[in-house]
Amino acid sequence: MNSQERTIVSSLVVLMILLWLGFVWHRDPAFPGSFIGFGVGLSASVLMLIPLVYMIIKRNKSLKKVVTKHIAMPTLLRIHIYAGVLGPILALIHSAHRFDSATGVSLVIFMMVVVISGFVGRYVLGLISSNVKEKKRQVNELHVALSNAKQALKDAVCDVRYSTFAQTSARHIPYITLNVPTSAQSKLFKQESQVLSIIDTISDVEYSILIHDTAKVWFARWLKFHIVISMTLYVVLFFHIFSEVYFGLRWL
């Protein structure tokens, strides 16, 4: 989900929440059974069934192979997302805030949970995937930098040892502490600090990757929850449609 798409979907989710909160100021018991209310409800039902079609296509290999010849899965996913948000928005308009039946209240609750959990899960999944790829690339680059820094540290140590040996040989005073040239000391300390800094950075990035891996595990659990709650939503939706048709529509 790119930033533009995320902004659009976020706005739709906010709109859905605001429509739901509208029951505080608005209530029209007659609208859901009217002709216009029926049309809005029918449109909402069709849109809410589109995500179910996407779920079936995604999990049926033969059907997926046929469908993807004409339309790519990322495009189907975008349709799934937009339909999954627009459907509940129209459903809330259809309800006209007449939350006076157990079926209607349950349907609204499940719609809200499915949409919000779907949006959060989709956003978190994209964020986790991009972050993990970037951080793994950073770790590889840091290991290369650490290897180079270690080699530079070894060279600095050799320079210090060579300087000390040269002074000892020149003065023939083996048991007196000799002053290592300041430049050699500075280079040694600088390389040592660089190695320690890279090691600390690698540790931080690898810990961050571990956190992301843990988040992935929780996301897998979330996905199962999202599927279960979506199936429950469809059961309630079918029952709602059946009851409305069975008991009749007031505009007929």
Q: Does 149 map to a domain?
A: no
DSSP per residue over 72-135, as a string? -HHHHHHHHHHHHHHHHHHHHHHHTT---SHHHHHHHHHHHHHHHHHHHHHHHHHHHHHHHHHH
pTM of the model: 0.63
Q: Does 219 map to a domain?
A: no
Q: Does 92 map to a domain?
A: yes
- Nearest partner of 233 among 102, 51, 111, judged by Cα: 111
Q: Does 223 map to a domain?
A: no
Alpha carbon 182 to chain centroid, angstroms: 52
Q: Does 14 map to a domain?
A: yes
Q: How many domains does the chain contain in total?
A: 1
Tell me the C-alpha distance between 69 and 252, whole Å: 43
- Nearest partner of 233 among 107, 87, 112, judged by Cα: 107
Helix (H, G, I), strand (E, B) or coil at 171: helix
Hey, how many other C-beta atoms are within 10 angstroms of the C-beta on 68?
13
Q: Does 139 map to a domain?
A: no
Q: Which residues of 120-131 are buried (b: 16+ CB within 10 A; e: fewer)?
A: eebeebeebeee
Q: Is there a contact between 5 and 77 (Cβ–Cβ < 8 Å)?
A: no
Domain that holds residue 113: 3-125+229-249
Q: Does 153 map to a domain?
A: no
Per-residue pLDDT of the chain in tens (252 residues, 90 and over written 9):
567 777 888 888 888 888 887 776 777 777 877 888 888 888 998 999 898 888 888 888 888 888 888 888 888 888 988 998 999 999 888 888 776 777 778 888 888 888 888 887 777 666 666 567 777 788 888 888 888 888 877 776 776 665 555 555 444 444 444 444 566 667 677 777 888 888 888 888 887 777 777 767 777 777 788 888 888 888 888 888 887 776 665 555
